[in-house]
Structure 1
Amino acid sequence: MPIDPDSLAAAFELRRPRLRAVATRMLGSSAEADDVLQDAWLKLALADTDAIDNLDAWLTTVVSRLSLDVLRSARVAKADRWAVEQWEDRPSDAEDPASVAAGNERVAVALMTVLDLLGPTERRAFLLHDVFGQPFEEIAETIGRSPAATRQLVSRARRRVRGTEPAARVEGRRGRAVVEAWLRAVQDGDLAALLALLDPDAELTAEVGGSTVRLRGADEIAASATTAARLAAHSVPVLIDGRPGVAAVVDGRVVSLLAFELGEDDRILGLDILTDPDRLAGLDLAAVLGE
């Protein structure tokens, strides 16, 4: 039997504080959180309430998805989504005191500030599990990952939030090693090495021309990568929007960018590729071309 409008509104208002907290912590903006809650209420008002077994879980999922949509829209709109920086030579084992001090300062900052270091999906998984206690299986369905991949995302986010090591230094060491291993494996056509680098549930998203291509699973991604030996031979490690990545330079022109998302176990969880000539032409690639 459907819930009458008054009872449905009362049920939503009862849950509003918790739902607003979910949206606010994901978005970092109370105004955007209120907009998300308004959209969530409209979805609930139009939903078949007979099909909702657990209203708390249903609303948490809806609010989380709406918040992630906002984050994704903001990320796509950012001009520096594909901001490319030179990746200096591998850091020496000797720690720079200034870097250590900066790292210690980051450890001391408040939770919301640290959350800004996390990517949208990583932040969402961390908050839903560690802050709101949602099971990995439910989070996995919400973010479109396997439970195992979700566990890795949460574990990685937890380590960064706790500040066991300065995030930039950790990412630099791990990321550079993975990038170099990836380039070697692709150039050698070493399928086994590629599979060892990839998480079984890894996902690849490529912007090719005006379309988007997606590959899922280590087998499919590794098989595709073995065909890119020529590009790998002309690729250099770079930082892309702060992430480990590579830029392929052919005849003095950047023809593709590849950014990596790493898991807790150093395996690759995600790869973002940009080969669209028009998009590449609009980027500042002077750092890669040495201009």
Structure 2
Amino acid sequence: MKPVFRFAPSPNGRLHLGHAYSALLNADFALRLQGRFLLRIEDIDTTRCRPEFETAIYDDLAWLGLHWEVPVRRQSEHFADYHAAFLRLKGRGVVYPCFCTRKDIAEAIACRETESGQEWPRDPDGAPLYPGICRTMPNEEASHRIVAGEPYAWRLDMVALKKLAPGPYRFRRFDREGREEAVNADPWRWGDAVIVRKETPTSYHLSVVVDDALQGVTHVVRGQDLEAATDLHVLLQALLDLPTPRYHHHGLVLDPAGDKLAKSRQSRSLTELRAEGATPQAIWRRLGFGPQPTPST
């Protein structure tokens, strides 16, 4: 069976050089390993994702010389798949509804820090861990609040999971030279992560593991900023009886100030570079690639 790679951008802004590097690297891996290269549009955030940005993704990648299989999977067309996965988690009793606002969480953490005199622990992204306010809420109270129309999210119950499925959890990491190694995952450092958001019937973590499984993705190549999230993804794959791909987390493309490129920082887009006269060949060379990668299909 051929290895399967995927590039999965979100159409909430225009692609920059960091996206180009990840796309080219996925395509390069697919070429060298005689694998398949997929494009997936991760547009679960229907308030921020826009059609013109999705069109720009196709245009930019085609301009770079990349080719991908069709049809392209668009997450916004597959909420039923993510809901089915959520129901499996719910059936196992490892999720609970959370009605807390950001203010509720911040106030609870501030109170506990004052009482203990210590800083509240944080997740790998630097956000304070959820303090478990709704974890022990009686089912009757939670049902009443849901029926009343109160907004809520669903969180993983890590306390229950440590008893029901303590692990250990592992995945395999690979590099550009073909070497692999087993890596221990530590999903507990994420605390009670949100698995279904208030405003969206899924989350990045849930939808990405479901998509990778349904599309037969065998190798995930993405930036180092998502490396820690792999711990949570490996946990979800185990809970949902899904295969765990191999993972490679590449270095990030930085701006002159040493910060990672990001849409939120208004990093220069490929569209802007194209308008200034950049060529695909110049982008390949700038990002450390040789001839145009053209993956097998």
Relative to the length of structure 1, the TM-score reads: 0.24
- Structure number with higher relative contact order (C-alpha < 8 Å, ≥ 6 residues apart): 2
Relative to the length of structure 2, the TM-score reads: 0.24
More helix by share: 1
